[in-house]
Amino acid sequence: MASEILIDIMNENNFDAGTKARNDVRNILSSMGFQTVVLFNRTHNNIKRIIEIINASQSIGKTIKNKDLIVLQYPYQPKVMQLLINRINRIRKKTKCTFVILIHDVLYLRNENNSKNSIDLQATEVKFFNEADAVIVHNHAMKEELSSAGVSAKMFELGIFDYLYCGEPAFITHSAKTTIVFAGNLSPEKSGFIYKYNETGLVAFNLYGTKPDNLNSCFEYKGSYSPENLIEALEGNYGLVWDGPSPDSCIGNYGNYLRYNNPHKLSLYIAAGLPVVVWKESALADYVVDNSLGVTISSLSELPRIPNPNSMAYQYLLQGVRELHSKLQSGEMLKSVILAIYQELYD
């Protein structure tokens, strides 16, 4: 069963979690026998990228046979995406291959503001998705939103992103005070809630990412690490998934995107062995509760009332995390979706 996956190769020294997510997809599918077409290297300049894209697009299809599966990681720039789709469609006319788009981000949902540009972007993305035989979406909320926006392609839900890892777990502290881990973009634009949180003295935070400024005393900055080295550096009781400028709710473009998105940091925390705290209105809130992975809250003011790390309730959450984390570490979530696509589209 020969297959192709089209990806971009990023700078391996990049600490961006997006690098980790795409690289994990590549490695998981490679373990399933997929071949790789390198589209371009993100560390190269624009001229070199254009040459690489042209060469890669011309090479696609040289080894594809009937009933092969082509998986394209999304997003790319619209012009690049259209070039790839045109090339894939020419291949599909000659073979009975299946074209699958795996979504990392839906750009119109991440930048939803009802402007003309946002509406045009929505139409463009819906058109791209409808070119595919199947689309791998994050969760049911994303599936429902894309369906209402006009996506008619068959959609398969991932559930949660994998996080390949084979090292030591996070260090779970057992002091009376709850310590919240937050890893990611710590800028005021992305995580403004950090700078507006009112300290209670009952909760501490360990932060991981680019060094922030002007933090109050309940926050401790722990440094910046590559995705491969981050887990063993984590210390705390819970991993927090929160976005936007407010500690009272997840608002703004970044916060609202949690209604549809599977944040990769949630997979990071589960792979690390940490229960999670998520926004009650996020797309993954039900998943977290149903699988006993953590707690949901409406506001960060509720943090002092979540299960204490020395409680039986916390031990119950740890058990739920243990039942899932090895699956994420070995890529079982994506593998199961790919097998479901084969079973449904090829039977």
Domain CATH for 24? 3.40.50.2000
Kindly state whether residues 288 and 341 are assigned to the same domain. no
Interval 294-303 mean pLDDT? 97
pTM listed for this prediction: 0.93
Structural domain harbouring 145: 3-162+331-346
Kindly state whether residues 121 and 196 are assigned to the same domain. no
176-192 CB burial, b ≥16 within 10 A, e <16: eebbbbbbbebeeebbb
Is pLDDT of 63 > 50? yes
Kindly state whether residues 177 and 137 are assigned to the same domain. no
* 7: three-class secondary structure by DSSP: strand
Kindly state whether residues 142 and 244 are assigned to the same domain. no
Name 72's bridge partners. Answer: 6, 101
User: Cα separations (Å) of 133 from 31, 56, 292?
Assistant: 23, 22, 34
Q: Give residue 6's Cα distance to chain centre.
A: 18
Is pLDDT of 112 > 70? no
The tally of domains found in the chain comes to 2
Is pLDDT of 116 > 90? no
Kindly state whether residues 213 and 139 are assigned to the same domain. no
Over residues 194-247, the pLDDT tens digits come to: 999 988 889 999 999 998 888 888 999 999 999 889 999 999 999 999 999 999
Phi, psi of 153 (to 5 degrees): -65, 155
Is pLDDT of 82 > 90? yes
Kindly state whether residues 42 and 151 are assigned to the same domain. yes
Kindly state whether residues 236 and 277 are assigned to the same domain. yes
Query: Are 220 and 204 within 8 A, CB to CB?
Result: yes
Kindly state whether residues 154 and 217 are assigned to the same domain. no
326-341 CB burial, b ≥16 within 10 A, e <16: ebbbebebbbebbeeb
Interval 105-115 mean pLDDT? 82
Kindly state whether residues 320 and 184 are assigned to the same domain. yes
Query: pLDDT tier at 67 (50, 70, 90 boundaries)?
Result: confident
- Identify the pLDDT of residue 339: 94
